[in-house]
Structure 1
Amino acid sequence: MITDFKSLGIIFGLIAWCVMIALLLTSFYKDKLNMTYSKWRLLHIVLSVVFISTALWHVIDLGRHMNEIMILFIFLLVCISVYQLGKLYFSKNYKKEKVL
């Protein structure tokens, strides 16, 4: 076997892959799911944050070229991304686009 599951980085990497596949499937089959647009959008927000968090843990834990400055840089980028996602979806000025 190439790797073992003793490292949390491996486990979080596998979780990130599963969540990414869930994001893909719920995007392609959103019309066939029995949920409103706002519930589907909330599901995507939650899945995106889970994906970003688990992928970040995986990269930091298993990254070959990770040092303190790079970890801080990646963490800062993720925080900015999550903030922008929240700002976009939870602002009062956000208008739903019409779904075809």
Structure 2
Amino acid sequence: MQNKIKTYNRIAAILIFIGLPVLFWALGDVPRRSNLKETISLITLISFSLMLMQFFLARSNRTVIKEHKMSRIVNWHRYIGYFFVTVLLVHPFLIVLPRYYEAGIDPIDGFIQMLSTFNNPGIILGIVAWNLILILGLTSLFRKIIPLSYNTWQVIHGILSMLFIAIASWHAIKLGRHIDKPMTTFILIASGTGVLLLLKTYFFPKTKKHKNE
């Protein structure tokens, strides 16, 4: 019975955090572009959604902790994190990549122009979010050599994650090509629930220490 519950949980996670973004992308009323651009958009959407899923693969989600080994949850959290952090870090470069195969503005000029457009709040939010994900990635990758206790690092990691998810969601909603009402609703519900779970863990801690922590 427990194995069936675990299987159902995995299927539900795949359907929600991968299936829904793909469905919204497929059904969205947005003119299709080249295969390269649409592939980049789809990968970015899935990566962003996996970022949202990270809040549900953490100690804040007590249901997951009860059903799965803590060591396995940590591994899922880590490997999924490596994937979406990498994609989101190269996201600004992927935006201008198709310009290498199109006539018009030079890709490097387009990239510089994009980063220097300070009168666009969406771009500013994107730059801030990019720096936050860089810090999150580096502090996670080099956690063992950072001169902080694990508990202190965990709190800092959680605060940075909440800041990032708020700013990145705002950026995506303002500038995302495939962001429509269903996608916006999904982002707001997933990010809001994830942040609330994390805040609940900080202010109402009830979970016991696990051997694998």
TM range (shorter): 0.7 to 0.9
- In 1, the alpha carbon distance for the partners of 2:208 and 2:169 equals 30
After TM superposition, the structure 1 = structure 2 runs for residues 21-100 of structure 1, keeping only pairs within 5 Å, are: 21-88=134-201, 90-97=203-210
Q: TM-score, normalised by structure 2?
A: 0.42
* Higher RCO (CA < 8 A, seq sep 6+): 1
Structure 1 residues not aligned, in runs of 5+: none
Cα pair distance change 1:91/1:49, threshold 3 Å: same
Cα pair distance change 1:96/1:15, threshold 3 Å: farther
Match of 2:121 in 1: 8
Q: How far 1:99 sits from its partner (Å)? A: 7.1
Q: TM-score, normalised by structure 1?
A: 0.81
Q: How far 1:69 sits from its partner (Å)? A: 4.4
Amino acid at match of 2:158: I
Structure 2 residues not aligned, in runs of 5+: 1-108
- In 2, the alpha carbon distance for the partners of 1:56 and 1:96 equals 32
Q: How far 1:15 sits from its partner (Å)? A: 1.0
Larger Rg: 2
- Which structure shows the higher helix fraction? 2
Amino acid at match of 1:19: L
- In 2, the alpha carbon distance for the partners of 1:21 and 1:28 equals 11
| Aligned residues with identical type, % of pairs | 37
